[in-house]
């Protein structure tokens, strides 16, 4: 049954190329594969072990799914593992090597705990330790984790949210266990209330940690010492002139020609329908944008530049920022959004300026579920949707190509074979629902269907054929993950014996 649904949903015989150009020669995102997941996708991370790249996906259910990713972008399911409270959700996922052993650290948001899994030789997981919240730590509603390696030891930094905000560090032992080192309770001076993003820089032999406070709308910098202790350096809050930090969310960074940058996005509080957990109700909405901070020689954050959202960018409700590639002169930055349902690609130059390159309208909202992987010279994105009706993990390949699809239109052909015991009345309901898609999904520029009349005997039992036309491949992506389409897939799946899907381009 799932095979039929997947055939209807996406044909993997055709690789869809997505690019809406903001420059003439741009980057394209090409969907390579997709696989079912146990949950919706809230967080994704990757790890290379024994020359194999593994993907770890967690969401608002009690499972972490493991996949392998090959050099063509194909995802292969490996295993699925239940969290100790059987419901999760898994939010923070960080994989790293500690004294020769590979571990996956998991923030179990619903259990107010951190779980430590040993990564086995085939990429599967074995739980070795669970750290529960206490009165002196800040693991409540844990969302973000960060591993920091010092000369003689490694430390796990954890941020809390809602009732117990703050920042804590734990020493990571060789067996995966964790020992509490220091906790700093949130106050009105630092921005650690709802740490959803963290990033660390090593500058001139010193280690610095940068946190984003979702609830208190700002970013903070900390010096991290060899013993795992840390001290606040400086703090910068939101304003309405040169930064966008209301609902500070993703935080990442990069070094270019000796210049150290921290890149910060936000999902503004105005986008939350469930606003009862937003503590500061007097926020001001002043648009969307990505803020870039430069790090001075003391490790402090200095406001540097902003990329402001407009009609040509997709920056509304950012939930993940990934550094895809870094050269000496520039970095390619990917920004995942929940509200724009997109992946925005940008270039960050040595001067710390973000410039839009291209974007992909995914057709589904991304909620921290975005990761980048480099295999040999190939670059991939792994993305998933927070929506429960999708439950797919998708791989995209990134390539530098010129987009010529504006001269063509895309035909999407669907052939259906109904089961013999399905009544004509049930079939007619499906036909009506299929035809109505053009009224619910504006990206469909034309839809026609017909009943097979061929007498050649080569139809293999397929009786109904639908032809949908799209102006570009991006429109097809939106259709594939549209709620109306997914609803139809769930209705029609049990009625079918088989389905066949094909796509091709034609000149306009």
Q: What is the pLDDT of residues 347-390, one digit of tens each?
A: 999 999 999 998 888 888 888 888 889 998 889 989 988 888 88
Question: In this predicted structure, which of 24-28, 242-246, 359-363 has the lowest mean pLDDT?
Answer: 24-28
Q: In which band, very low, low, confident or very high, does the pLDDT at 146 lie, cut at 50, 70 and 90?
A: very high
Residue 335 near residue 344 (C-beta atoms within 8 A): yes
Q: How confident is the model at residue 66, as a pLDDT?
A: 97
- 3-state SS assignment for residue 266: strand
Q: How confident is the model at residue 29, as a pLDDT?
A: 78
Q: How confident is the model at residue 406, as a pLDDT?
A: 66
Q: How confident is the model at residue 199, as a pLDDT?
A: 97
Residue 104 near residue 94 (C-beta atoms within 8 A): yes
Between 369 and 24, the more confident residue is 369
Distance CA 415, CA 400 (A): 34
- Compute how many other C-beta atoms are within 10 angstroms of the C-beta atom of residue 309: 21
pLDDT > 70? residue 402: no
Q: Which CATH architecture has domain 406-507?
A: 2-Layer Sandwich (3.30)
Q: How confident is the model at residue 3, as a pLDDT?
A: 47
The secondary structure of residue 421, as a DSSP letter, is T
Q: In which band, very low, low, confident or very high, does the pLDDT at 401 lie, cut at 50, 70 and 90?
A: low
Distance CA 467, CA 449 (A): 6
The mean per-residue pLDDT over the stretch 434-460 comes to 93
Distance CA 234, CA 211 (A): 11
The mean per-residue pLDDT over the stretch 262-275 comes to 90
Residue 157, strand partner residues: 146, 169
> Taking the model in full, what pTM does it have?
0.85
Distance CA 433, CA 23 (A): 39
CA dihedral in degrees (260, 193, 341, 347; nearest 10)? -10
Q: How confident is the model at residue 70, as a pLDDT?
A: 96
Q: How confident is the model at residue 110, as a pLDDT?
A: 87
CA dihedral in degrees (110, 221, 206, 49; nearest 10)? 30
pLDDT > 80? residue 104: yes
pLDDT > 60? residue 20: no
Mean confidence (pLDDT) of the chain? 89
Q: How confident is the model at residue 174, as a pLDDT?
A: 97
Residue 34, strand partner residues: 394
pLDDT > 90? residue 22: no
Between 46 and 480, the more confident residue is 46
The secondary structure of residue 190, as a DSSP letter, is S
Distance CA 196, CA 250 (A): 6
Question: In this predicted structure, which of 171-175, 269-273, 414-418 has the lowest mean pLDDT?
Answer: 269-273
Q: Is there a cis peptide before residue 390, judged by omega within 30 degrees of 0?
A: no
Domain boundaries, the chain: 406-507
The secondary structure of residue 48, as a DSSP letter, is E
394's enclosing H/E stretch is strand 392-402
Q: How confident is the model at residue 8, as a pLDDT?
A: 42
Q: In which band, very low, low, confident or very high, does the pLDDT at 125 lie, cut at 50, 70 and 90?
A: very high
Q: How confident is the model at residue 63, as a pLDDT?
A: 93
- Rounded to the nearest 10 degrees, the angle between the axes of helix 483-492 and helix 424-440 is 170
């Amino acid at each position: 049954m799932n095979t039929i649904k997947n055939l209807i949903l996406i044909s993997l015989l055709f690789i869809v190329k997505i690019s809406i150009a903001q420059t003439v020669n741009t980057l394209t995102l090409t969907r390579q594969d997709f696989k079912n997941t146990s949950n919706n996708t809230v967080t994704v991370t990757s790890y290379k072990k024994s020359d194999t790249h593994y993907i770890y996906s967690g969401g608002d259910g009690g499972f972490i799914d493991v996949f392998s990713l090959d050099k063509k972008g194909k995802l292969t399911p490996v295993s699925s593992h239940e969290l100790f409270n059987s419901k999760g959700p898994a939010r923070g996922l960080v994989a790293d090597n500690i004294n020769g052993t590979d571990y996956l650290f998991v923030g179990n948001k619903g259990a107010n705990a951190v779980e430590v899994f040993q990564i086995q030789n085939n990429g599967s997981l074995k739980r070795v330790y669970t750290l529960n919240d206490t009165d002196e730590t800040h693991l409540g509603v844990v969302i973000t984790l960060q591993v920091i390696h010092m000369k003689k030891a490694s430390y796990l930094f954890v941020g809390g949210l809602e009732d117990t905000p703050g920042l804590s560090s734990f020493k990571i032992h060789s067996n995966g266990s964790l020992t509490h080192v220091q906790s700093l309770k949130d106050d009105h001076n630092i921005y650690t209330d709802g740490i959803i993003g963290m990033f660390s820089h090593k500058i001139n032999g010193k280690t610095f940690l940068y946190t984003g406070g979702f609830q208190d709308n700002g970013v903070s910098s900390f010096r991290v010492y060899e013993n795992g202790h840390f001290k606040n350096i400086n703090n910068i809050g939101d304003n309405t002139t040169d930064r966008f930090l209301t609902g500070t969310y993703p935080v990442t960074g990069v070094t270019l020609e000796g210049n150290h940058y921290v890149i910060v996005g936000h999902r503004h509080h105005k986008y939350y329908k469930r606003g009862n957990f937003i503590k500061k109700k007097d926020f001001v909405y002043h648009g969307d944008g990505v803020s870039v901070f430069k790090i001075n020689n003391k490790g402090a954050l200095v406001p540097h530049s902003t990329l402001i959202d407009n009609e040509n960018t997709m920056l509304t409700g950012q939930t993940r920022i990934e550094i895809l590639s870094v050269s000496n002169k520039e970095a390619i930055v990917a920004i995942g959004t929940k509200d724009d349902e997109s992946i925005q690609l940008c270039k960050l130059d040595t001067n710390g300026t973000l410039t839009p390159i291209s974007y992909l309208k995914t057709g589904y909202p991304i909620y921290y579920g975005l990761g980048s992987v480099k295999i040999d010279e190939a670059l991939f994105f792994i993305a998933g949707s927070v929506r429960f009706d999708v439950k797919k993990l998708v791989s995209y390949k990134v390539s530098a190509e010129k987009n010529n699809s504006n001269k063509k239109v895309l035909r999407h052909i669907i052939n259906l074979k109904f089961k013999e015991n399905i009544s004509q009345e049930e079939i007619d309901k499906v036909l009506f629902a299929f035809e109505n898609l053009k009224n619910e999904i504006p990206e469909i520029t034309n839809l026609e269907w017909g009943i097979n009349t061929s007498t050649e005997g080569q139809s293999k039992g397929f009786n109904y054929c639908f032809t949908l036309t799209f102006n570009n491949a991006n429109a097809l992506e939106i259709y594939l993950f549209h709620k109306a389409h997914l609803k139809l897939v769930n209705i029609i799946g049990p009625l079918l014996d088989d389905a066949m899907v094909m796509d091709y381009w034609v000149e306009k």
